[in-house]
Structure 1
Amino acid sequence: MEWIFLAVVALLGLGLALLGGFVFLRWLARLYAAPRRPAHPAADAARPEVGQPAPETENRPTMETTVPAAIPSRREACPDQETRALLRTPLARFSIVAFIAVVLLLPLMLVKDLTDERASLYRSVVRDISKAWGGEQQITGPILLIPYSERQITSRTVRNEDPKAVGGEEYRVIKESRLVPGYFVLLPARADFTCNLDPQERQRGIYRSLVYTARLRMAGHFRLPPLESLKRIAPDLESVDFQRAFAVVGLSWPSALRTVGPFVWNQAELAAEPGTQPFTAVKEGFRIPVPLSPDVKQYDFSQELVFNGSSGISFTPVGGVTAVGLSSPWPHPSFRGDILPVTREVSATGFTAVWDIPSLARSYPNLGTLKTWPDRFTSFAAGVALYESASHYHLIERSVKYGILFIGLTFLAFIIFELSLNARLHPVQYGLVGLAMVVFYLVLLSLSEHFTFLPSYAAASACTVLMIALYAGAALRSVRQGFSVGLLLTALYSLLYAILQMEDYALLMGTALVLVMLGVLMVVSRNLAFERI
């Protein structure tokens, strides 16, 4: 964006330099084209030539004649009037006003930098609140880990101490057998998640952040695979330790847990333990020891959790079939992730959404081993973000981008009033009007940090419109034109608010505004002759 701004400023500066040079050359041309001061004939006759004696006069009474002095022309009498007249030409007026508009880009950029600084501070506060309350949560699991041992045979070559004793062989191969521990990773055959999000606001100083409290119930069942399936992925399987199995539940911010219900495992209530080791693919969460029996083929589970979070929530589809039901009174959800909900209902009172995700939608299997399990399997998820409509900092930043356009439209209106009233405004007056329009964004930024955007925008625009309208009426010495300026600015700021609210059509409306401005310029300059420039 900076190089675009510099390019625009360079082009405007070049255009103003060309216009200024053209005006200066025309001024020089008019100055040297002025007729020289004519000499009086009587004075020339009375002046003796160089080297000749002065003529003698007769001693007779003569009537004293007063030689009238040459009347200087208007240009000779008032040489500064040429410059004043030149500055009153339309080209010079447009050049001066355009230069003032370009200079006002500097305070506009300062306001934009201030907006970015305040927005950065706001994001920093939001991050601090998220760290204390809980960040964006992702639920993964439960995932069953079953310890096993497999026999591993290794070979190594050693030198024989007495090759003759072993038939002349200098080296021999020694095979060693040892048991290597490992874990089977088993995903549930079905996993159902029902979650309700209760949105809340947390405040630190003048800044507010949207957070939520989630009430989650998860349920489903596991099916133990037959021994043949286990040997298929671990060919050297020696034994399976079903008694030391445990389930892992992943939660991005376990510190945000408020209530952890018992883990119901085939009607038995089990307690959870912190940590997910050795399952490093899920870095945060907790684990539950779940003793298994090879004689029981299906295990049902359920658990209820209450935890805090912010920004959004997502679920990793770990089940053979994963069903997720989300509801919240927040009216602005933003569904995201790799899979969109099957059904959704969004209204002013909240939203509900349902996902139904089969195992074929993901890239990892239902059964595997810990050493071959993909580390980034949690990147495939489905969820929702509690979307906040564009923050006031974002809206102010967008409005500043239209600042030079609105200043140009206002200056154009003043030029039209000048031509229609045959009045002249001083460049300082243009500068004060432009500064008032720049201060509008500063007032809007200050108010929006304490109030909502709409009343802040209404108050800032009302102050600016009233101030400029009264000043214009006094400068143009016309109450009617001051009222017209007020109506124009009211329309402009109303249009700006509409552009800010309709982000999808902002470019279209801004382009239409530029076309209207160009059309008005063409209408104003349609009868402009080159000689009048």
Structure 2
Amino acid sequence: MIMVGFLALILLIPLAFVQNLIEERSERKNEVVKEVGEKWGSSIYFYGPILKIPYTDPNSKTYKYAYLFPEQLDNQTTVETKPLNRSIYDATVYTAEMNFKGSYIKPDFDLHNIPAGYVHWDKATILIQTTNLKSIKDQVDITFNGQKHTFEPIYNSNSGYEALETPYIDLSGSALFPAAFQFKIKYNGSELIKMVPIGKTTEMSMKSNWHSPSFTGNFLPNDKTKVITDNGFSAKWKVLHINRAFSQQYFKTLPDLSKYAFGVNFVVPVDEYQKNERVSKYGFLVIGLTFLTFFLIQAISKIRVHIFQYFMIGIALVMFYTLLIAITEHSSFRLAYVISGIAVVIMITLYSFSILKNRKFPALIGTSLSALYLFIYIIIQMENYALLVGSIGLFIILGLVMYLSRKIDWNSN
């Protein structure tokens, strides 16, 4: 018993190497997915549109800016996801088309003691802070009060974000407000879309063919409008100015409001490497229960099993995990699990025939090992009930072992 227990502990070493192999392959996949994502298009962060109006500070006589957020901001986004293949790895990317419309009201500079003559209405611009400029697919034009203006790329050194800004827009006429706008922007991207709700009332709707969205950020979609199916999802958000702690006008500097952003993360819930990692955590359990089965058979039948034979069986059990990760990379996890499980069960069962010299005990071992692998497969498919089902299953196994070993006379063995 001491030697078998010590051998089970020794087999934790190759089992740890297998887990390191799974981690290494997973990191390699993440590197490839990140590289593909960077070439196709990275995550999208959208902060805008912001009406930027220059003025001269009456005290310091310096040139500064006032930033005005929309009174109403509506966004409709359609996201089409697809897999991109590189070598043996798949990366999920998307194309997002974002349509915006809304309106501004005239800012009140008198509240900040800025005389009307100090405001340069003829040099106003519209600013958008964003990421992933390289993956914008079409020219971005905004229709502002019926006139079309084209955004130009700039780099905002203060925020560190890339940005789009229009040429000067003349807002000298008081009849220009309330000012309506609309525009659309099309991105190639990956992983994430986030937007800052800068409208006094911000409404956003999103539709996509992605089946497992993760809603992220400071605001969640309305439960009544959220629909998730195997073919995709749709969701709507409505954020009021009372829901977030920032105002509609800023003078001198534009604040970083990224902590108020919300959106969707296009994540793979559990990838093949995560499943392999979860299975490998049950490796010691499989080895221990298999050794226990052989030991009980040895105690009941008086057939001697050499420690070297235990070692061979243990190595075969460890090989299950290397087969599983290798086959998974070229097929599905389910098929890899079936092939690896059948291969190991057949190998150990046939080896048992040569050790135990009969058919009854090898058949018992093959059946027990098959049931154990099936039990583990069922557990890893569960998320909410994995711990509960696993604990109940182990309790039943312990009870079965206690029942089968109740009549063994340990003093005579």
Specify the TM-score bucket, using the shorter chain as the normaliser.
over 0.9
Tell me, yes or no, if structure 1 residue 331 matches structure 2 residue 211.
yes
Which residue of the partner structure matches residue 259 of structure 1? 138
* Structure 2 counterpart of 1:482: 362
Partners of 1:325 and 1:466 in 2: CA distance: 54
- 1:150 and 1:234 in contact (8 A); partners too: no
Structure 1 residue corresponding to 2:249, chosen from 367, 382, 385: 367
Of 58, 71, 79, the match for 1:197 = 79
Query: Which deviates more from structure 2 when the two are superposed, residues 231-240 or residues 455-464?
Result: 231-240
The verdict on how the C-alpha distance between 1:364 and 1:276 changes in structure 2, with shifts beyond 3 A counting, is farther
Q: Does 1:443 align with 2:323?
A: yes
Q: Which deviations, in whole Å up to 9, do the C-alpha atoms of 1:317-341 show, x marking residues without a partner?
A: 0101111100111111111111110
Q: Counterpart of 2:197 in 1: which secondary structure?
A: coil
Q: CA deviation at 1:529?
A: 5.2
Note if contact 1:146-1:185 (Cα within 8 Å) is conserved in structure 2: yes
CA distance in structure 1 between the aligned counterparts of 2:112 and 2:250, rounded to whole angstroms = 7
- SS of the residue aligned with 1:179? coil
Q: Which residue, 268, 283, 295 being the options, matches 1:403?
A: 283
The equivalent residue for 2:18 is: 111
Q: Are residues 1:181 and 2:181 paired?
A: no
Matched, 1:462 2:342: yes
The 5 Å alignment of 1:17-416 reads: 94-152=1-59, 179-225=61-107, 229-235=108-114, 239-275=118-154, 277=156, 280-281=158-159, 283-289=161-167, 290-295=169-174, 296-342=176-222, 343-371=225-253, 373-374=254-255, 376-416=256-296
Which residue is equivalent to 1:174? Answer: none
Q: Deviations for 1:421-462, whole angstroms, at most 9, x for unmatched residues?
A: 331211111111111111110011111111121111111111
| CA offset digits 1:197-239 (Å, max 9, x no partner) | 11111122212111111011111111112xxx31213457751
CA distance in 1, matches of 2:357, 2:392: 32
* SS at structure 1 position matched to 2:286: helix
* Whole-angstrom CA distance in 1 between matches of 2:257 and 2:237: 19
Q: Distance in 1 between matches of 2:56 and 2:21?
A: 63
Give secondary structure in 1 for the equivalent of 2:58.
strand
Using the TM superposition, give the Cα deviation of residue 277 of structure 1 relative to its aligned residue in structure 2, in angstroms. Answer: 4.0
CA distance in 1, matches of 2:104, 2:322: 60
SS at match of 1:475: helix
CA–CA separation in structure 1 for the residues paired with 2:195 and 2:42: 15
Unpaired runs of at least 5, structure 2 = none
Cα distance between partner residues in 2 of 1:490 and 1:377: 55
Q: How far apart, CA to CA, are the structure 2 residues paired with 1:212 and 1:147?
A: 37
Alignment RMSD (CA, Å)? 1.9
State the AA in 1 paired with 2:220. Answer: L
User: Do structure 1's residue 453 and structure 2's residue 333 form an aligned pair?
Assistant: yes
SS of 1:425's equivalent?
A: coil
8 Å CA contact 1:150, 1:236 repeated in 2:
no
The code of the aligned residue for 1:467 comes to M
* 1:83 counterpart residue number: none
Whether the 8 Å contact between 1:149 and 1:237 is mirrored in structure 2 is no
CA distance in 2, matches of 1:382, 1:405: 42
**Within 1, Cα distance between the matches of 2:358 and 2:411?**
30
Alignment deviations for residues 269-325 of structure 1 (CA, whole Å, 9 cap, x no partner): 1111111547x3472221113331341211111111111111121111010111110
Partner of 1:473: 353
**Structure 1 residues 495, 400: closer, same or farther in 2, change over 3 A?**
same
Q: Which runs of 5+ in 1 are unaligned?
A: 1-93, 153-177
2:406 partner SS: coil
Distance 1:377 1:526 in 2: 67
Matches of 1:356 and 1:276, distance apart in 2: 30
Amino acid at match of 2:265: A
Q: Partners of 1:387 and 1:277 in 2: how far apart?
A: 30
1:255 Cα deviation from its structure 2 partner: 1.0
Identity over aligned pairs, percent:
30
Task: Choose between structure 1 and 2 for higher RCO, CA contacts under 8 A separated by at least 6 residues.
Answer: 2
Q: Is the 8 A contact 1:257 1:305 kept in 2?
A: yes
Contact 1:248 1:276 in 2 (8 A): no
Give the whole-Å Cα distance in 1 for the aligned partners of 2:333 and 2:229.
22
Corresponding letter in the other structure for 2:182: S
Contact 1:139 1:250 in 2 (8 A): yes
User: 1:237, 1:105 → 2: CA distance?
Assistant: 77
Q: Any conservation in 2 of the 1:108–1:438 contact (CA below 8 Å)?
A: yes
TM-superposed deviation, 1:181: 1.1
